[in-house]
Amino acid sequence: MPPTLNQFLSRAHREHSVPDAHLQRLIGTIAEACKTIAHQVGKGALGDALGSTERENAQGEIQKKLDVIANHILLEEAAACGALAAIASEEMERIQIVPDHASKGPYLLLFDPLDGSSNIDVNVSIGTIFSVLKRPYGEPLTECSFLQTGSKQVAAGYAVYGPQTMFVLTIGDGVHGFTLDCTTGTWQLTHPSLRIPEHTHEYAINASNARHWYAPVQRYIEELIAGKASVRGQDFNMRWIASMVSDVHRILMRGGIFMYPADRRQPSRPGKLRLMYEANPMAWITEQAGGAATNGYQRILDLIPGQLHERVAVFLGSKQEVERVTHYHRTGSCFPE
Ligand code: AHG
Ligand code: MN
Ligand code: MN
């Protein structure tokens, strides 16, 4: 029998003292909350979980009912676990500080409770993304406490609610995938030490935005589409699920490059995806699996955040492809053949 998530965490704690007891409890709690969310997702039309609310979130997007349900589940369970000082979510404009009367801990949690919201009502894979940071001491606990580079993450991962429910985790020693055994309710380590192949024939981008892209992205994608006839000398395949979790999960399983670039529609907006609870955790997972992640110019994990909900361009996945499209951005010149 493969180890369960709890056994895996206990062993990592015994052997490397990482995660510590607080972090171990926090990861276990997040995984439990994801199980509860998976259960709600699975009810679909039978659980009053489909459709939209009338409210907007901090980024001006109409919240789906499941965005709100998933946020509530994660927030309640995580706030009570005793490992956290404060929590931030895509669905909450401001951070939530764990109140003094509750038991607190040394960590900060950020999450996207429901990623791929446009897929909920059409029964296509969605997920939850999370990132854990250490609380800085010696200063008041505010939103600024969260504004740390992605390289400071101590745990990151996601759950994917697809044909199988999976929990994928890094605590800095590679990337490990657990599948939910619905008969026992346990997460089983089914995908230890995941590695993203360096070479790939597959890319993921919302190509309906092509006319708005900047030159480096247009050039890169034109080459992929031209395939064998281009300097690439090979054909490429395209997939786009419109849920970052599901697209990144596919890339972890069989390679590929995922892109959500900035474009000309809103020159002041550096992309669609959020740095702190989408790009950073996925960038760390990607690097831990042997891939690369940049905003076209810099490593995502080195970016210094200015705001909790700030957005960023994302290029992540198989190393050679990310390096190539990053090179096109940095130089605007031809890739050396
Ligand atoms: P969210 O549902 O948390 O707002 O995130 C959706 C994001 C991301 O998951 C996905 O890759 C992208 O938006 C899809 O964008 P398009 O609608 O342009 O396909
Ligand atoms: Mn998202
Ligand atoms: Mn979301």
Looking at the structure, do residues 158 and 276 belong to the same domain, yes or no? no
Neighbours of 125 (CB within 10 A): 21
Digit-coded pLDDT (tens) for 189-246: 999 999 999 889 999 999 999 999 999 999 999 999 999 999 999 999 999 999 999 9
* Pocket-testing residue among 56, 158, 206, ligand 1, by greatest number of atoms within 8 A of Cβ: 206
Ligand nearest to the CA of 265: 1
Looking at the structure, do residues 83 and 131 belong to the same domain, yes or no? yes
Looking at the structure, do residues 187 and 270 belong to the same domain, yes or no? no
* Pocket-testing residue among 74, 203, 205, 243, ligand 1, by greatest number of atoms within 8 A of Cβ: 243
Looking at the structure, do residues 132 and 210 belong to the same domain, yes or no? no
Cβ distance 300 to 150 under 8 Å?
yes
Greatest CA span in the chain, whole angstroms? 66
Looking at the structure, do residues 218 and 187 belong to the same domain, yes or no? no
Task: Decide if 62 is inside a domain.
Answer: yes
Helix H or strand E encompassing 109: strand 107-115
Could you give the angle at the alpha carbon of 266 between the alpha carbons of 262 and 270, nearest 5°?
Answer: 35
Distance CA 176, CA 13 (A): 15
Ligand nearest to the CA of 118: 1
3-state secondary structure at position 279:
helix
Listed residues 191, 219, 248: the one ending a domain: 191
Looking at the structure, do residues 181 and 206 belong to the same domain, yes or no? no
Is ligand 1 within 6 A of the CB of residue 318? no
Q: What is the mean pLDDT of residues 62-78?
A: 95
Distance CA 185, CA 181 (A): 5
Looking at the structure, do residues 164 and 281 belong to the same domain, yes or no? no
Listed residues 130, 157, 191: the one ending a domain: 191
Span from the CA of 160 to the centroid of ligand 3 (angstroms): 13
In sequence order, what DSSP letters do the residues of 127-141 get, joined into one string? EEEEEEEEPPPSS--
Is ligand 1 within 6 A of the CB of residue 206? yes
Comparison of pLDDT for 53 and 236, the residue scoring more: 236
Number of the ligand 1 atom closest to the C-alpha atom of 209: 18
> How many domains does the chain divide into?
2
Sign of CA dihedral 4, 131, 157, 130: positive
**How many Cα neighbours within 13 Å face the side chain of 242?**
10
Task: Decide if 78 is inside a domain.
Answer: yes
Instruction: For residue 112, give the CATH number of its domain.
Output: 3.30.540.10
Structure-token match 């361009």, residue found:
313
Domain of 208 in residue numbering reads as: 202-330
Is ligand 1 within 6 A of the CB of residue 242? yes
- Tell me the two tokens of residue 287: 């690097």
Flag whether pLDDT at 334 surpasses 50.
no
Looking at the structure, do residues 183 and 71 belong to the same domain, yes or no? yes
